[in-house]
Structure formats: structure tokens, C-alpha cells
Structure 1
Amino acid sequence: MIVATYKDLNTIITILHSSFLTETFPNSINFVVKQDKNRSERIHYLMKYQCKMALKFGQVFLSDDQESCVLFLSPEKKKITLKTILWDINLVTKCIGINNVYKVILREKILKKNHPKISFLHLWIMGTIPKSKRKGIGTKLLKEVLEYYGNTKPIYLETTTESNMHFYKKHGFKVFNETHVLEYPLYFLLRSLDRLQAVKS
């Protein structure tokens, strides 16, 4: 496992872009990204935005072969600065599209409503390049990252597919809510300290 830095930015973007480009079914990425002839470029910018935010306000991890990555945010560290405002403006113009801003804001409200009320880590996004999927690379990376964090804080995430939900449940996450009010399902999961202690005892 590699703790990524800004020098790894392009590698991380490439992994995430290739991982989500072929996923054309309704999910969080396709909900946020304006669906037009520039979809690939828009997804690329979204991944660039997420990478920069995670490197600034969280941590990013790469598998040793640099074919899988996972991005974490520490919400309590997140601050609004001139730089992040510019990033947000560019996200709207280069990825979301003006006409889609309202629905994305509504989505964000749903997400924040389900955030834990205590200090937590947010597993924001995880991806593996297509040729390396289903080879255990992402599983190995996630195990290493969870060991790295240990019992420091609860870890929260949301996902859109049942397959991903079951994947995370195998790693100690528990579904605590779900919603179907958007154009796709959202499952909210938490890997709480109480749950970890119960598993170990």
C-alpha cells in the first residue's frame, strides 16, 4: 500500500477515470456528470476534483502495483477557501453543467443528512482499472487501509449497487439506511468502533 501525494495525482485520476468511464448505468457518478458527448472529459474532471479534495482534506491510498486506489475525506478538516471555491466553480462548468446544479445540491443534502453525528472518516470513492478488476487487488488495498486506520474513527460511505454493498459488508461495514428518492438507489454504510469491538470479542 502506498500513501499517495500530489505527485501521484495523474495516476489516481487515470485509475478512477478508467474505472468509472464504462459504468453507464444509473449511479452517483452518472447522476453528477452531465451526460453528453463530453462525458469522458467531464468524468476526468470530476476525478481530478475528488483527488485534489482528498489530498487536501483527507488521504489517498494506492495499491502497490498502482492499479487500484481509495480516497478518504476527513470532514472536520474540510474548509472553504478561495482555492476550493474556484474548484467548485470549475466543477459546475466542466462537469455538472448549470442545469444540473439543483439536483446535485439536493443529492448533497440527502448525503449530509445521513452523515454520522460524531467525528468520522468518509470513504469517498474507490476504483480499480478495468483489466485488474476481480483479481483481489481492491480487496487487498481496502484491508490494508482499514488496518492502517485501525480503531481511530468510524468509517462512513455510501454506495449505489448491491454488489458494492455486499463487498463492504464483508469488511465490517453495516447498512444503516437506504434511499430510492433519486434516479438510483443509495445505501449508507458505517464501520463503527462498537461493531469492530463486538466482532473481536
Structure 2
Amino acid sequence: MTNAKGKDKVRVVSILSNSLINNSWINRLVKQDQVRFKRIEQLIEFLFDHCLRTGRVLISEDRSACALVFFRNKKSYSISLYHSLMLAFKVTGLDRLSQILKLERYIKIAHNAVAGEGQIYHIRLWGVHPSFQGKGSGTKLLLEMLEESKSFGKTLFLETSEKEMLPFYEKIGLKIYHQIDLDGTIYLLKQR
């Protein structure tokens, strides 16, 4: 895996938007209208920029898988009011913004209860481009991130609303430590 740069934004957005197009939680957050896919892309662009500032954007060597990683020990964890409003107008709609902020707060509290401030390697989003799925690049990327988080002395965390992904996550060394029921279940996982 390598660190993505600003020039990789188009590739990362393409990988994630195509791999997450049917993700149930993403589709709860994004306003459902005729430009839904564009809204998903805008959400990922927002998170890409946020993770470049507060963590890392990683891309597999074959450029088929990527992850948006965020380090809690950076000061700019919270989304500013300006960015929240821009996100609401471009992506979610005002009615969904409060749900996003509530979920972010719940996740932050749960992570801090387990790892404490400054010890968090948080995979915000990750995915494999659909034409490359099932070939191992996503698994390899996740395993590399698990090793990297250990080398940094941080606990790796991620969330999923996709129950069918839980056996895969458990197989590679993650475990469910909490769940949030907020218009559907969100499973919070951490490395063992």
C-alpha cells in the first residue's frame, strides 16, 4: 500500500463510490434523488480531503483498493459548522445531517471508551473497485493497515452496516465491540 496524494483523488473517489453504491448506510446518509451517485462521490471527496488533513489516504499497489484513514490524535477531528452545512447542501440534505453528526458523536464516544484519546487508527471508508473484487487486494490492504496500526501503537477501528461482512472482518482479526442502532444497526469493530 502507498499513501495517496491529492492527484489520486479521482481514482480513490471512483473506487469508493463504485464499491459503496449499494452500501445500506451510505444510502441512508445520501439524499436519494436522480443525482444520488454524484452525491456519493461528493461525500467521498469530502472524506478524502478530511483524511488527507487528519490521517492518511491509502491505495493498494495495484490501485484497485483504497482506504480513508483518520487518526484521532489530530486536532481537526470535528467537522466544522461550515463543512457540515456544505455536506448537508451537497450530499445529505438538512434532514440527514443531524443523523450523521449524532452517529459521529456515538462512534467517537465508543472508540474513546476502548482506546482513549490519541490512540485511534480509524478506517472511515475502504473499498475495492467492483471489477477487482474477490481477487485479494482488499484483504491485503486491510491486513497491511492492521500491521501499520500496530506499528504506530494505535488500535484499528472501523464500522459497517453490512452484516454479511462480519465473518470476513472476524477472519482477518477484527471483533465487534459495540453496536449502534440508529435507523439500522452499525457494527463497531476493532482489532483483537
TM-score by length of 2: 0.88
Taking the aligned partners of 1:80 and 1:59, their CA distance within structure 2 comes to 13
Q: How many residues align?
A: 187
> Which structure has the larger Rg?
1
Q: Find runs of 4+ consecutive structure 1 residues off by over 3 angstroms.
A: 83-87
Contact 2:43 2:87 in 1 (8 A): yes
The residue aligned with 1:188 is 188
The residue aligned with 1:160 is 161
Taking the aligned partners of 1:88 and 1:103, their CA distance within structure 2 comes to 12
Aligned in 2, Cα 1:80/1:61: closer, same or farther, shift over 3 Å? Answer: closer
Amino acid at match of 1:175: I
The residue aligned with 2:148 is 148
Aligned in 2, Cα 1:146/1:80: closer, same or farther, shift over 3 Å? Answer: closer
Match of 2:61, SS?
coil
State the Cα RMSD in Å.
Answer: 2.0
The residue aligned with 1:79 is 76
The residue aligned with 2:35 is 38
Pairing 1:6-155 to 2, within 5 Å after superposition: 6-21=6-21, 23=22, 27-79=24-76, 85-117=81-113, 118=116, 119-151=119-151, 152-155=153-156
- Where in structure 2 are there 5+ consecutive unaligned residues? none
Match of 1:164, SS?
helix
Amino acid at match of 1:42: R
Taking the aligned partners of 2:148 and 2:93, their CA distance within structure 1 comes to 38
| 1:84 Cα offset (Å) | 5.2
Taking the aligned partners of 2:60 and 2:30, their CA distance within structure 1 comes to 27
TM-score by length of 1: 0.84
- Where in structure 1 are there 5+ consecutive unaligned residues? 196-201
Aligned in 2, Cα 1:113/1:145: closer, same or farther, shift over 3 Å? Answer: closer
Amino acid at match of 2:110: N
Contact 1:120 1:153 in 2 (8 A): yes
How far does the alpha carbon of each residue in 1:16-42 deviate from its partner, in whole angstroms, 9 at most, with x for none?
Answer: 111112x06xx2211211111111111
| 1:97 Cα offset (Å) | 0.6
